[in-house]
Structure 1
Amino acid sequence: MSKTIGIIGGGNMGRAIMAGLIKAQLYPADAVLVYDLNPAALTTLQTELGVQPMNSAAELVATADVVVIAVKPQVIDRVLTPLRASFRAEQLLISIAAGVTLAHLGTVLDPKLKLVRVMPNTPALVGAGMAGVAVNSQVTAAEQATVLAIFNSFGRAQLVPEDLIDAVVGLSGSGPAYVYLFLEALADGAVAEGMPRQLAYEFAAQTVYGAAKMVLSTEEHPGVLKDMVCSPGGTTIAAVEVLEEHAFRGIVMAAVHAATEKNRQLG
C-alpha cells in the first residue's frame, strides 16, 4: 500500500473515502492529505477525522503517492490543468468525476501517467458503496489491487473495462435513487393500510436491506430467491402479478438505460 493518499475535494464523496480508509486502517489519519477550496471544510475534516489539510492542490500533489480527484466533472479541467507539471510518473491518479474518460484525463494531463477512473455511489457514506474501476495501460496489477483496496474499504469495488463505466453509472451510480423511490412507495403502501409512516419506513428499509443481503450472501439468482417467497396462490405472487401488469421490470430497465445514455453524453 502506498504511504500517503491525497484527496482534492472535501465534499460528501471525498469525506466518505477519507473515513473509509481510516476506519479500515488502510492509512493512518496523518497519511490522508486533503485540499478543498473551502477553508472551513478543511478545518472540519481535520477536527473530525484527523486528516492533514494542505495549503494548495499543488502541495498535495507534490506530497501524496496516490491522488484522488473528488470534484464535479464540470470543474475537473480547471482543477487539473494548473497541476499538469506537478504529477509524477510513479503516482496513481484516481478520478471519480462522472463522464470524464481516461482519454480525456490523458489529454488534460499526460496519457503516460497512471490514470484510474472510478464510479462510486453515495452508500459509500455509510460504508456500503459499490464502485466500478477502470484503469489505463500504465497501471500495474499491484496498483490495481491498491485501488480496489481503497474502494473496498467503504463497500465493494470491481475492475471493469472502461466501456462498461457508463452502465455502472446507470446501475449502481444512479441506482440508489431508484431504490429510495421503491422504498418510499413500499412505505406509502403500508401507510395507506394504516401503518404509521416512520414504522413503515423502518419495515421497508430493513426489507430492502435484507433482500439485497440475501442476493450477496447466497449468490443465488434473484429469480430463485423471488420464487422462494412466492407460494402458490399466495399473497406475494398476487403482488408480483400486479407489478408485472404495470411493467415494473421494463420501467426499471428503461431508467438504467436513460442514466447510462446521459453519462455517455456527459463524456
Structure 2
Amino acid sequence: MKKIGFIGCGNMGEAMLSGALNYGFVKKEDVIVYTKSIENLERLNKKYNVVMAKDSKDVAENARINVLAVKPDIYSEVIEEIKDKISKDSIVIAIAPNFSINVIKSMFDKDVKVARAMPNTPAMIGCGITGICFSDNMTIEERKEILKFFTSFGEVIEVKEDLMKAVGSVSGSSPAFIYMLIEAMSDGAVLLGIPRKDAYRFAAKAVEGAAKMVLETGKHPGELKDAVCSPGGTSIEGIIKLEEKGFRSGIIEAMLKSAEKFYSMEEKEEKKYMKIE
C-alpha cells in the first residue's frame, strides 16, 4: 500500500507532489500517480521517479491518501470510477471549490474520510497557503498527517467548512488581483520611463517586500502604510488618488463577487447530489 496517490497531476497536482517529496513528507517509492496524459505521466515518472498507475482505480486501490487533483467538471466521473476501491481507511483530499464534504460523501455513496482543501497557485513555488476542513470521521492523527502534507508546499490553516468560500476569495482568487496590481504598477513605471523588464521587477519585489513586512513584523497593514507616508510627501499623494478611485472598495467588491460565485457553484452541486430543493 502506497502512502499517497494523485489522480490527475496538472500544475497544482505537481506542485503538491513536488512539495511532498522535497519536504520529506513521503518517499518517491510511496507515491503512485495517474493522469490521462501519457506524455505527462512519463514526464512525471522521469522527473520524480514515482510509480505510474494504469488508471484512477489503480491509484485508489493502492494508496491510503488519495488526492483528487482533476478539474471540477470531471470529479463525478472520477469518483464513479474509484468509489468501490476506496476503503474505510482511505482518505480523500478534494481540492475542487464546487464540492462540500457532504456532497463528496454522497458521490462516493459511503461515509468516506474527506479533507476538503483550497490551495492556491503560489504552491507551485512552495509559497502557497491552503484553507482546509475535515469530515467528522477523521481522527486527530489523520488530520495532523494531512496538515503536514499541506505544509510541504506552503502554509495551511484549518477553518470551519462554511468559511471555505471566504478562503477561496482571500487566497484562492486573490493572486489574480495581485497580478493585476503588479501589471498596473509596471505600466505606470513604463509611463514614467522605466524599461518594461525592470518595471515588472520593481513592482513585483515591492509587493513581495510589503507582504513580508506584514508577515514578519506582525504590525497592522495600516501602521505599515502610515510609516511609508511622510507628511506632505509623494506616497500620501498616491494614497489620496487610490481612495478617490475606490481602490479599497474595488478590492472588497471583487472578493465578495468571487465568494458569491463560489457559493453558487457549491449550491448547484448540493442541489444536484443532495436532492436539495
Residue type at the aligned position of 1:177: A
Indicate whether 1:77 and 2:66 are aligned. no
Residue type at the aligned position of 2:69: A
Could you tell me which residue of structure 2 aligns to residue 236 of structure 1? 235
* CA pair 217-22 structure 1, distance change in 2 beyond 3 A: same
User: How far off is 1:3 after superposition?
Assistant: 5.9
Could you tell me which residue of structure 1 aligns to residue 54 of structure 2? 55
Instruction: Give yes or no for contact 2:2–2:32 (8 Å, CA) kept in 1.
Output: no
User: How far off is 1:68 after superposition?
Assistant: 0.5
TM-score by length of structure 2 reads 0.93
CA distance in 1 between partners of 2:103 and 2:237 (Å):
50
1:101-120 alignment runs, 5 A limit: 101-120=100-119
User: How far off is 1:111 after superposition?
Assistant: 4.8
User: How far off is 1:128 after superposition?
Assistant: 0.6
String of CA shifts for 1:170-228, please: whole Å, max 9, x gaps: 11101110000000011111100000000000111111011111111112111111111
User: How far off is 1:98 after superposition?
Assistant: 1.4
User: How far off is 1:51 after superposition?
Assistant: 1.7
Instruction: Give yes or no for contact 1:103–1:111 (8 Å, CA) kept in 2.
Output: no
Instruction: Give yes or no for contact 2:128–2:155 (8 Å, CA) kept in 1.
Output: yes
Could you tell me which residue of structure 2 aligns to residue 6 of structure 1? 5
* CA pair 234-111 structure 1, distance change in 2 beyond 3 A: farther
Determine helix, strand or coil for the equivalent of 1:84: helix
1:207-218 alignment runs, 5 A limit: 207-218=206-217
Show structure 1 runs of 4+ deviating over 6 A. none
CA distance in 2 between partners of 1:258 and 1:36 (Å):
33
Please list every run of 5 or more consecutive structure 2 residues that lacks an aligned counterpart in the other structure: 267-277
Could you tell me which residue of structure 2 aligns to residue 123 of structure 1? 122
String of CA shifts for 1:60-111, please: whole Å, max 9, x gaps: 1111111100011111000001211111111111000111111110101145
Residue type at the aligned position of 2:136: S
| Root mean square deviation, CA, Å | 1.2
User: How far off is 1:129 after superposition?
Assistant: 0.7
CA distance in 1 between partners of 2:246 and 2:96 (Å):
33
Residue type at the aligned position of 1:230: C
How many percent identity over aligned positions?
39
CA distance in 2 between partners of 1:219 and 1:109 (Å):
43
CA distance in 2 between partners of 1:215 and 1:139 (Å):
34
Indicate whether 1:250 and 2:249 are aligned. yes
Instruction: Give yes or no for contact 2:56–2:81 (8 Å, CA) kept in 1.
Output: no
CA distance in 2 between partners of 1:165 and 1:110 (Å):
23
CA distance in 1 between partners of 2:22 and 2:237 (Å):
45
Could you tell me which residue of structure 2 aligns to residue 20 of structure 1? 19
1:151-190 alignment runs, 5 A limit: 151-190=150-189
